[in-house]
Amino acid sequence: AQRVTQPEKLLSVFKGAPVELKCNYSYSGSPELFWYVQYSRQRLQLLLRHISRESIKGFTADLNKGETSFHLKKPFAQEEDSAMYYCAPPPAPDYKLSFGAGTTVTVRA
Amino acid sequence: DAMVIQNPRYQVTQFGKPVTLSCSQTLNHNVMYWYQQKSSQAPKLLFHYYDKDFNNEADTPDNFQSRRPNTSFCFLDIRSPGLGDAAMYLCATSRGARGSAYEQYFGPGTRLTVT
């Protein structure tokens, strides 16, 4: 079964400090992973996906097949980054999306 | 430019009184999903449709049903809501082409209160 693990439920950092959210996956096949974000009172939305290899809002995520990880990183956290972040495995081939437990990030001034 | 719309945004129902939540999309996506999200928890998939094919999660209670009369609309019916069904219900869509991993687009959610 496709599965991801987010070991940290809560993460608190100061503004301007680096932030890293951990995600480990444990399934075979192409690991086309996603990070979704849910800001307060906003809808859940895609932040970035592995396959696009882009940086969104200063965040990047590198797939490490050796460590089976897809950690999300930002070198300088901002207060507007405070949100709930979910790592998710690909929905294919059965179209289901099962989220990790989520990590709540709080960026303090 | 709302792409996934959920109505109502807030719904209050009485214990045991059937309730229907609705979702519509303007994306023409094949797949529509319903999730239940309780406070400080990850969304939990209840079921999804690929076109008209219904796929129920094994642990979704029978109390929860769904209808998809056409591509644009999908409904979540809770036949006899209990206090434990109070939650945010999220609708999502995705393109769903076989063999590809497409992102999901979420609606704003309907917050259900059971009194």
Residue pLDDT, tens place only, A77-109: 999 999 999 998 766 556 566 788 999 999 999
Tell me the nearest-neighbour CA distance from A10 into chain B, angstroms.
11
Indicate yes or no: CB of A96 within 8 angstroms of CB of B94.
Answer: no
Indicate yes or no: CB of B45 within 8 angstroms of CB of A97.
Answer: yes
Tell me the nearest-neighbour CA distance from A49 into chain B, angstroms.
8
**Is the predicted pLDDT of residue A74 greater than 60, yes or no?**
yes
Distance CA B79, CA B17 (A): 7
Say which residue, B74 or A33, is predicted with more confidence: B74
**Is the predicted pLDDT of residue A35 greater than 60, yes or no?**
yes
Indicate yes or no: CB of A92 within 8 angstroms of CB of B98.
Answer: yes
List C-alpha distances in Å: B17 to A81, B20, B114.
Answer: 40, 10, 9
Per-residue confidence (pLDDT) for residue B102, from 0 to 100: 77
Say which residue, B69 or A25, is predicted with more confidence: B69
Maximum C-alpha span of chain A:
43
Chain B CB contacts of A34 under 8 Å are 101, 103
- The domain A4-108 is classified under which CATH number: 3.40.50.150, 2.60.40.10, 3.40.720.10, 1.10.10.10? 2.60.40.10
Chain A CB contacts of B2 under 8 Å are none
Comparing C-alpha atoms, which of A30, A78, A85 is closest to residue A61? A85
Chain A residue with minimum CA distance to B44: A98
Indicate yes or no: CB of A45 within 8 angstroms of CB of B48.
Answer: no
Give the DSSP H or E segment for B109: none
Residue A50: which pLDDT band, with cuts at 50, 70 and 90? confident
Say which residue, A83 or A53, is predicted with more confidence: A83
Distance CA B76, CA B34 (A): 7
Token pair of A46 as six digits:
């895609």
Residue A75: which pLDDT band, with cuts at 50, 70 and 90? very high
Chain B CB contacts of A99 under 8 Å are 42-43
Q: Compute how many other C-beta atoms are within 10 angstroms of the C-beta atom of residue B22.
A: 16
Distance CA B69, CA B23 (A): 11
Q: What is the pLDDT of residues B65-107, one digit of tens each?
A: 999 999 999 999 999 999 999 999 999 998 876 556 678 899 9
Give the CATH class of B4-114.
mainly beta
Q: Can you give the length of chain B in residues?
A: 115
> Any idea which of A9-13, B4-8, B40-44, B84-88 has the lowest mean pLDDT?
B40-44
Token pair of B75 as six digits:
């409904």
Chain A CB contacts of B90 under 8 Å are 43-44
Task: Name the average pLDDT for chain B.
Answer: 92
Within chain A, strands assigned E span: 4-5, 10-14, 19-21, 24-25, 34-38, 45-49, 60-64, 69-74, 83-88, 103-108
